[in-house]
Amino acid sequence: MQKEGVNMKIGVQSGYVFTKDAYADGLRMIREAGFESVDINLDEMLNVKKLAAEGANPFFSRSTGEIEVLFVPMKEQADVLGLSFGQMHAPFPVYLPGKDDANDALFDAICKCMAVCRVLDCPNLIVHPIAWDGTIAEERERNMAFYSALIETAKRYDVCICLENMFHGRYGYMTEAVCSDFAAAAEYIDALNAIAGEERFGFCYDVGHATLLGKDQRRSINQLGKRLKALHIHDNDGRNDLHMQPYAYTRGQQYVTDWNGFLQGLRDVGFDGVLSFETYHSLMYLPETLKGAMLRYIAQVGSYFRDQLTGS
């Protein structure tokens, strides 16, 4: 369900660039750096830990209509600048064991994110799968029920819900988690679309998460095939989920992330969506005067990737 006109834009997430209430300068900085699309971090509007501890959910406690109105000026400003919204982050995690009220609030927040997607003309909402402590069969059952319950709202707002490959970090080690097996991830997407009766689910491939688990980038993307709708592009040292700019880490005379394999995989499956960078840690502690330069570098990497994929 890739929307027309998205073809091979370069995007970056809004995190550590702008907030919901102070977006004008941030949108302009993103555009001037060379980006054409934005991954909007609506997940920043809900502190899940605080929700679990206190039941606090001030932003998403508003009605859907009240929330929609808040994003109309942002869409108008983006239109003036020639920016689109290629994807959005929903709150994460989406499930808290033993916290029924919080889980109801999280589900409601995800549905309201889809309403904002419609306002911003954003085709893809990234909704992380539930990492379950029980068996794989129980985890699948839990996730199928959770995502199936979102179908009606996704149809109403014409949104593609994207699952993402996850990992566990325990005792200093990274281990596989839900949807890190890409054959199983493909089965998730196919089964959910069969339930929906249309293409309503897709996949967000997180390059950094694949690097952490030593995945073959090209093979992983090929296993997803046309199910691939969105990207989280970022780099790490192979040990920590660092969300840095590409080509930041080497091991010996090789880059830790197989960027060539990543690009070959995208070429194999004919990916023509947004090359979206999830590189917020590269901006997190950077002096304000250097943020523009870092964003320009990331956009230049995006242009290089696009040239490699299109042969231009």
Find all residues with CB under 8 Å of 191, minimum gap 6, and list them.
Answer: 144
- Whole-prediction pTM: 0.95
Characterize the bridge pairing of strands 10-13 and 37-41.
parallel
What pLDDT is attached to residue 19? 86
Find all residues with CB under 8 Å of 229, minimum gap 6, and list them.
Answer: 1, 2, 123, 124, 160, 162, 202, 203, 204, 273
Domains in the chain, ordered, with CATH? Answer: 10-310 (3.20.20.150)
Contact 140, 98 (CB under 8 A): no
Report the chain's C-alpha Rg in angstroms.
18
Report how far apart the first and last C-alpha atoms of the chain are (Å, whole number): 26
Query: Can you tell me the distance from the alpha carbon of 51 to that of 224, in angstroms, rounded to the nearest whole number?
Result: 34
Query: Can you tell me the distance from the alpha carbon of 232 to that of 204, in angstroms, rounded to the nearest whole number?
Result: 7
For residues 148, 149, 150, 155, the Cα torsion angle rounded to the nearest 10 degrees is 80
What pLDDT is attached to residue 148? 98
Find all residues with CB under 8 Å of 264, minimum gap 6, and list them.
Answer: 217, 218
What pLDDT is attached to residue 312? 62
Of 307, 236, 306, 311, nearest in space to 37 by CA: 306
Of 309, 301, 298, nearest in space to 13 by CA: 298
What pLDDT is attached to residue 276? 98
Burial class (CB in 10 A: 0-12, 13-18, 19+), 76: exposed
The angle, 0 to 180 degrees and rounded to 10, between the axes of the packed helices 288-310 and 259-269 is 50
What pLDDT is attached to residue 302? 98
Question: Which residue stretches of the chain have pLDDT < 50?
Answer: 1-6
Contact 3, 229 (CB under 8 A): no
Q: What are phi and psi of 174, to 5 degrees?
A: -105, 130
